[in-house]
């Protein structure tokens, strides 16, 4: 059974992405919640699989691809480059920051961290754990909506510097690649 598929750019604004000038949109599938789309090629891979499984028509997939191209969707690496190159004014005094977890008794073997307020890390006063850039993006958007836009760019820059996994799939791959002492 095929389902109606559509790409739109006007559901809601993503303040963090707008600040960076990153093009994005939303995949709308009949009967599902809207999904944020940042990477055209990754989305097309997913749509091809769904096309083969009979969930969407070829016309719908081609129409969505055309709409994503017209919206200027790039890939995640292009977004990451915009974050890295974003210049935060030297006089900006951040209220939030990201720190990698360095706790000696932490049982999480993969790089992760938390988002802290103020100068000193207080373990019970952080937002975390943040294990993936995808999860961090959601937190950055929330903080951007609270008016902390420059902080969110610095937080994401710090998460990129820490080399967090991009998403849960990449995190799982990294975990499975750990030596047996950690993996199983």
End-to-end CA, the chain: 40
CA distances in angstroms from 82 to 21, 65, 86, 89, 119, listed in the order given: 8, 23, 6, 16, 26
Model confidence pLDDT, tens digit, residues 73-107? 999 999 999 999 999 999 999 989 999 998 888 88
Q: 149: which 2 tokens?
A: 């836009």
Q: Determine the Cα–Cα distance for residues 162 and 177; give it in Å rounded to an integer.
A: 18
pTM of the model: 0.85
Output phi, psi for 84, to 5 deg. -60, -40
CA 65 to chain centre: 21
* Cα–Cα distance for residue pair 103/113, rounded to 1 Å: 10
pLDDT per position as a tens digit, 1-50: 667 788 888 777 889 999 999 999 999 888 888 889 999 999 999 999 98
Omega of the bond leading into 148 within 30 degrees of 0 (cis): no
Nearest to 148 by CA among 16, 12, 13: 16
Confidence of residue 118 (pLDDT cuts 50, 70, 90): confident
Phi, psi of 157 (to 5 degrees): -60, -45
Burial of residue 152 (CB within 10 Å: 0-12, 13-18, 19+) is buried
């Amino acid at each position: 059974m095929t389902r109606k598929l559509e790409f739109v750019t006007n559901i809601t604004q993503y303040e963090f992405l707008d600040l960076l000038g990153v093009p994005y949109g939303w995949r709308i599938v009949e009967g599902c919640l809207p999904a944020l789309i940042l990477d055209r090629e990754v989305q097309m891979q997913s749509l091809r699989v769904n096309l083969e499984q009979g969930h969407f028509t070829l016309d719908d997939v081609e129409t969505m691809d055309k709409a994503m191209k017209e919206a200027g969707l790039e890939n995640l690496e292009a977004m990451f480059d915009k974050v890295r190159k974003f210049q935060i004014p030297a006089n900006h005094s951040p209220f939030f920051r990201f720190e990698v977890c360095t706790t000696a008794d932490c049982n999480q073997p993969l790089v992760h961290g938390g988002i802290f307020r103020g100068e000193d890390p207080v373990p019970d006063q952080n937002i975390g754990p943040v294990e993936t850039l995808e999860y961090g993006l959601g937190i950055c958007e929330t903080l951007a909506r609270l008016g902390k836009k420059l902080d969110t760019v610095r937080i994401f820059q710090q998460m990129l510097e820490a080399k967090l996994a991009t998403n849960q799939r990449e995190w799982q791959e990294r975990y499975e690649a750990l030596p047996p002492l950690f993996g199983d």
